[in-house]
C-alpha cells in the first residue's frame, strides 16, 4: 500500500529535501515571508524583484505558466548580471549608497544560484572543451563558446568564459 514518511527526515544526496523539491517561486515566497517577519527591507526588496521577474516570465505570451529549472537559472543569471553591471556603474560614479544597495541585492540573488566556479576551475573546463571540440586557433572561438556557454551556464559569467577561451585559443 502507501507508505507515509515525514518530510523532516527526507534527504536527497545529503541535502534537505524541502529545499530541493521546492520550486524557485515557492522558495522566494517563503523567504519573502521570513524577510517580512524579520523586517529586513533590503532582502525583501531583492526577493520581490526576483518574484516579479518570475511572474513576468510565467505570464509572458506563449509561456506554459511553470518555469523549468533552466528558465529559472537564466532568469537569476540575468538579474545577477544586471545588479553586477549597475553596481560597477555606481561605483565608478562614486555613488556608494546605490552601489551598496545593488551589492546587497546581488548577494541575495546569488543565494538562489548554483555555486560559481573559480577562475582556475573555469580555465580547466575551457581547456577540456577546447580539446574535445578540437579547436586550434582564434577562428574556432564560436564553436568553443557555444559549447562552453551551455556547459557552464549559471556557473560562470559569460565574460569570464570568453576571456579564458580567447587566451587559450591564442596560444
Domain residue extents for the chain:
24-110, 119-170
From the number of C-beta atoms within 10 Å of its C-beta (0-12, 13-18, 19+), residue 108 rates as buried
pTM of the predicted model, to two decimals? 0.69
Length of the chain: 171
Topology (CATH level 3) of domain 24-110: Hypothetical Protein Yqey; Chain: A; domain1 (1.10.1510)
Q: How far apart are alpha carbons 156 and 121 in whole angstroms? A: 10
Write the DSSP symbol of residue 15.
Answer: E
Please tell me the chain's helix, strand, coil percentages from 3-state DSSP, rounded to the nearest 5.
70, 0, 25
Q: Indicate if 119-170 has the same CATH topology as 24-110.
A: no
The class of domain 119-170 in CATH terms is mainly alpha
pLDDT tens series, the chain, 171 aa = 444 444 444 334 444 444 445 788 899 999 999 999 999 998 999 999 999 999 988 888 776 777 888 888 889 989 999 999 999 999 999 999 999 999 999 999 999 988 888 889 999 999 999 999 988 888 888 899 999 988 888 788 888 899 999 998 887
CA 32 to chain centroid, in Å, comes to 19
Amino acid at each position: 500500500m502507501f507508505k507515509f514518511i515525514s518530510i523532516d527526515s527526507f534527504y536527497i544526496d545529503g541535502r534537505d529535501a524541502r529545499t530541493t523539491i521546492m520550486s524557485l517561486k515557492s522558495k522566494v515566497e517563503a523567504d519573502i515571508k521570513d524577510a517580512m517577519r524579520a523586517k529586513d527591507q533590503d532582502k525583501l526588496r531583492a526577493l520581490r524583484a526576483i518574484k516579479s521577474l518570475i511572474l513576468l516570465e510565467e505570464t509572458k505570451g506563449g509561456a506554459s505558466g511553470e518555469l523549468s529549472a533552466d528558465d529559472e537559472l537564466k532568469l537569476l543569471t540575468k538579474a545577477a548580471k544586471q545588479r553586477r553591471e549597475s553596481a560597477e556603474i555606481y561605483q565608478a560614479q562614486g555613488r556608494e549608497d546605490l552601489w551598496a544597495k545593488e551589492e546587497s541585492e546581488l548577494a541575495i540573488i546569488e543565494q538562489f544560484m548554483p555555486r560559481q566556479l573559480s577562475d582556475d576551475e573555469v580555465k580547466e573546463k575551457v581547456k577540456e572543451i577546447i580539446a574535445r571540440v578540437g579547436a586550434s586557433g582564434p577562428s574556432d572561438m564560436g564553436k568553443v563558446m557555444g559549447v562552453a556557454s551551455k556547459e557552464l551556464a549559471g556557473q560562470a559569467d559569460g565574460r569570464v568564459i570568453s576571456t579564458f577561451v580567447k587566451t587559450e585559443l591564442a596560444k
